[in-house]
Amino acid sequence: MEVVILPDARSIGSLAADAIGALLQRNPDAVLGLATGSSPLAIYDELAARCAAGTMSFARARGFTLDEYVGLPADHPERYRTVIDTVFVNRVDFAPGAVQGPDGLAADIPAACAAYEAAIAAAGGVDLQILGIGTDGHIGFNEPGSSLASRTRIKTLTRQTRIDNARFFGDDLDAVPTHCLTQGLGTIMSARHIVLVAAGRGKAEAVHHMAEGAVTAMWPASILQHHPHVTVLLDGAAASRLQLIDYYREAYESKPPWQGI
Ligand code: F6R
């Protein structure tokens, strides 16, 4: 796991966009894994800017979102499908239908989850997965206690996650759905490169457990220690509980300039 500590969200967005740009140069048909939430917004802003400037194109790329609330009506502004379209997909040049997400309105939820896994596999798997992390250490919506081998399925959101996300629902906890469909930890681990972004002191404990704690279902993101290519992009506040912070800084500063993340 490579940990990179950067001054601000803009630098995080820029470095992640460099990695995505390099991937698209190598493979214009690349498959991206897309997280929603606040953390990746700077990445999507940077990608949209590069696309508008004509230096990057998603015309042949595909995408799969991580998760979706169960039961939010199709026209609800906080439906993750709507959110990812607004913050990213509609701002770049993806082909119609190139980005898919789990169907939180499916009548047969197990079948919808199996179909989503099959769609990711049929696309050849995810080349680069963008992740945020919850204050309780979730990735996707794999809450503490999730199977470390799980695949896409329905999960119950923890009260903490619902409190964290109430800000998107007018601070009304009752308006936050109780369930979601999420790619499993096993699904996420199948991606070839994982770029996790976190900012702010509220994420510091989860980031410490993810990178430096024991691998445990109590901190689901800690499973990433078993992945061969994870890049963690942090601001100083999110990095503030890391025991090896000086080492991470030294390692990144001494990296050859030609070597990306
Ligand atoms: C979103 C997702 C979640 C978020 C996490 C952090 O698709 O899967 O794991 O990444 O809850 O959310 P923010 O970035 O809003 O702090």
- Per-residue pLDDT reduced to its tens digit, 61-103: 999 999 999 999 999 999 999 999 999 999 999 999 999 999 9
Cβ–ligand 1 contact at 35 (below 6 Å): yes
Our mutation pick for probing the ligand 1 site, out of 82, 131, 133, 195, counting the most ligand atoms within 8 A of Cβ, is: 133
pLDDT digits (tens, 9 = 90+) for 181-197: 999 999 999 999 999 99
Helix (H) or strand (E) holding 180: strand 179-182
Distances (CA, A) of 127 to 29, 134, 188, 193: 10, 23, 11, 6
Residues 6+ apart with CB under 8 A from 180: 67, 68, 69, 70, 104, 141, 154, 155, 157
Q: Which positions are annotated as active-site residues?
A: 67, 136, 138, 143
Task: Give the pLDDT band of residue 257 (cuts 50, 70, 90).
Answer: confident
Mean pLDDT of the 23-33 span? 98
Task: Give the pLDDT band of residue 27 (cuts 50, 70, 90).
Answer: very high
How many angstroms is it from 260 CA to the middle of ligand 1? 25
pTM: predicted TM-score of the whole model, two decimal places: 0.97
Mean pLDDT of the 235-245 span? 98
Task: Give the pLDDT band of residue 258 (cuts 50, 70, 90).
Answer: confident
How many angstroms is it from 135 CA to the middle of ligand 1? 9
Lowest mean pLDDT among 106-110, 126-130, 157-161, 256-260: 256-260
Neighbours of 22 (CB within 10 A): 13
Residue 37 has pLDDT above 90, yes or no: yes
In the chain, % of residues over pLDDT 90: 98
